[in-house]
Chain A
Amino acid sequence: MKIDPIHQFNIEPLFTIGHIGNHTIAFTNSTLYMFIAVAVISLLMIGGMAGRQLVPGRLQSIAEISYEFVATMIRSTAGAEGMKFFPLIFSLFMFICVSNLIGIIPYTFTVSSHIIVTAALALLVWFTVLIYGVSKNGLKFFKIFLPSGVPIFVLPLVVFIELLSFFFVKPVSHALRLFANMLAGHIALKVFAGFVAMLGVSLGAIGWVGGIAPLALTVALTALELLVAFLQAYVFAMLACIYLNDAIHPGH
């Protein structure tokens, strides 16, 4: 029997909205799960804060903890001035975290396992850094390419590395990290789950009993994926904070 670990990432149109030129604009399963993620976040934040009790209940606690978590992260990496970007960072963190966590549920679709989604999010951060940095600091923003205290004869090399880092490595790795982590994690889950079926089909009763081992491993991997889903959202948001810190305080 053949297992297909890539099938879960297929994008299927649910219904067509219209056409632009030769391209079909469709409402796909990816769109649906993005809407679900936004709906879950809205319910959590609006529903959680509707009561506004002095002693918070469960929902209100989650809303308050997530606010405090992101606010602490911004204050420690980008300083108090970074708090003006709180809405951006908070939206990024909650969207990625919730869509990753929804993706762990079997038979669902993981939005962040498509590079087009993560690249859009990473470019949003990158252009925010570039535009805000230039508009706030003017030409002084480009001091991030000229670290102070570097000997003059290695300066061209350092400037080249800094330019390459800012224009290529940072946005590409920002998008790739989230995408590849989710993709690799979900492929690994499918491959190990496939072992159960392969053992059972090829060996019969002995195979189904032996399949307990890969099944246990799949459960353990799901727990690991739960950690990765949260950690990658945290890493993405924190790198966004660190890049924004460059724009707020240029010059190393």
Chain B
Amino acid sequence: MEPAAAKLIGAGIACIGMGGAGVGVGIIFGNYLAAAVRNPSAAQGQFGNLIFGFAVTEALGIFSLLIALLLLFVPL
């Protein structure tokens, strides 16, 4: 296989990792919404925790996106 083709396939495979981050972010926002509907008065106080959990989860998806970008745009 040509190296260029292998790099493109590798970039595609690396993007699968972002699916996991998508699931994680969905769980965080879904659970926040479920809790906020049950107890709306406590929702505002947990907004900071929501954003923190979102940021930490999203970082892992960003790592796999970074691998894809490195494979696509950095000449080896």
Contacts and interface: CB of A to CB of B under 8 A. Distances in A.
Contacts of B51: 231, 234-235, 238
Contacts of A198: none
Task: Classify the secondary structure of B's interface with A.
Answer: helix
A177 B65 CA distance: 11
A180 B66 contact: yes
Contacts of B54: 235
A239 B48 contact: no
Nearest to B61: A180
Contacts of A181: 62
5 contacts: A176-B66, A234-B51, A235-B51, A238-B52, A239-B55
A173 interface: yes
Given A6-B73, A183-B69, A239 B52 contact: yes
Nearest to B56: A173
Contacts of B65: 180, 184
A235 B47 CA distance: 12
A177 B55 contact: yes
Interface in A212-252: 231, 234-235, 238-239, 242
Contacts of B62: 173, 176-177, 180-181
A73 interface: yes
Interface string A67-80: 00000010011000
